[in-house]
Amino acid sequence: MPLPYVEEEFNIDLTWKNLEKKEEPPSYVNIRRNIYLVKKKRDDCDDDIGCTTCTSDCCENCVCRVQCLSCSKACRCSETCKNRPFRKEKKIKIVKTESCGWGVEAAESIRKGEFIIEYIGEVIDDATCEQRLWDMKYQGTQNFYMCEIRKDFTIDATFKGNLSRFLNHSCDPNCMLEKWQVEGETRVGVFAAQSIKVGEPLTYDYRFVQFGPEVKCHCGASNCQGFLGTKKKICKLDLCWGSKRRRTSASPAVIIV
Ligand SMILES: [Zn+2]
Ligand SMILES: [Zn+2]
Ligand SMILES: [Zn+2]
């Protein structure tokens, strides 16, 4: 009676395959630059104004640096000036963590203040953001990859992004997000808040905004609040805008691509 035997084997095989499949990170489309689902808007910046007093390498008081502006052609500094992040990413890798799902760890040592990786995704407006959040809530989604930068400018790495979407939250993080202007474009980078060794998990403070049910925090930090209290991974960035830079209030038109 060979038939039931075969069937049983087949079932075992399927189960095994399913188990194996669970060990792969959830799928997403890997992209290298932000994809704009809103009209790409250059902030009213004057491209011609760079740092003109810096000579070779820009230091802490460089006018570009204090405004979180990446040095550009308009600057007199050298091409190798350190105030040009977003050029070279650090080596990082995705790992399965004990209690925080998938995470990212350093694959090379990183010094304090160094640029690690850009936070990349689809740039969406507030209406699209809200719609997606409701969809996720109904679907019972546990992982949120949205980073709200300003009105009508949320970077959503849910569907498209890079490894930065796997960084976990910690109440005592070793990374921070910074908003920069790079040749007129707003870009968000993950930077090292302290020196980081090879194999160390990379984390930042999500600064959640209330959206779904409370979720337990597993970051293990001594100052951990225990609960994230809030669920939506939307970080409000209030960083680094120079006083000369005005924000425009005009809402960009939505372009569905
Ligand atoms: Zn400079
Ligand atoms: Zn420079
Ligand atoms: Zn400069």
Which ligand approaches the C-alpha of residue 54 most closely?
A: 1
Q: Which ligand is nearest to the CA of 182?
A: 3
Tell me which ligand sits closest to the C-alpha of residue 48. 3
145 lies in a domain? yes
pLDDT at 247: 30
In a domain, 104, yes or no: yes
Q: What is the DSSP letter of 257?
A: -
Cα 5-7-12 angle, rounded to 5 deg: 95
User: What single DSSP character describes residue 26?
Assistant: P
Q: Please list the pLDDT of the chain residue by residue as tens digits (257 residues).
A: 545 444 444 444 444 444 445 577 778 999 999 999 998 776 555 555 789 888 878 888 899 988 889 998 889 898 888 899 999 999 999 999 888 888 999 999 999 999 999 999 999 999 998 898 888 878 877 677 888 888 899 999 999 999 999 998 888 999 998 889 998 899 999 999 999 999 999 998 877 554 445 667 778 888 777 766 434 444 444 333 322 223 332 222 222 22
State the Cα–Cα distance between residues 114 and 202, nearest whole angstrom.
Answer: 13
Burial classification of residue 225, based on how many CB atoms lie within 10 Å of its CB (0-12 exposed, 13-18 middle, 19 or more buried)? exposed
Length of the chain: 257
User: Is 108 a member of any domain?
Assistant: yes
State residue 61's pLDDT score: 85
Question: Which residue has tokens 């308009």?
Answer: 74
The pTM assigned to this predicted structure is: 0.75
Residue 149, SS3 per DSSP? strand
Residue 100: which CATH number?
A: 2.170.270.10
Question: Is the residue at 174 inside a domain?
Answer: yes
- Domain extent, residue 107, equals 88-204
Q: Is residue 165 part of a domain?
A: yes
| Phi-psi label, residue 200: left if phi above 0, alpha if psi -120 to 50, beta otherwise | beta
> Buried b / exposed e across 34-47, counting CB within 10 Å, b at 16+?
bbbbbeebeeebee
Q: How far is the CA of 59 from the centre of ligand 3 (A)?
A: 10
Ligand number with the minimum distance to the CA of 79: 2
For residue 182, how far is its CA from the centre of ligand 1 (angstroms)?
Answer: 14
Ligand 3 centre distance from Cα of residue 140 (Å): 46
Relative to the alpha carbon of 75, which ligand is closest? 3
Taking only Cα atoms into account, the Rg of the chain, rounded to an integer number of angstroms, comes to: 21
pLDDT of residue 245: 29
Question: In which residue are the tokens 């372009």 written?
Answer: 255
Distance 84 CA to ligand 3 centre (A): 8
Ligand nearest to the CA of 73: 3
**How many domains is the chain built from?**
1
Distance (Å) from CA 185 to ligand 2 centroid: 17
pLDDT at residue 234 in the model:
47
Residue 157 lies in a domain: yes
pLDDT of residue 115: 96
In a domain, 256, yes or no: no
Asked, for residue 241, whether it belongs to a domain, the answer is: no
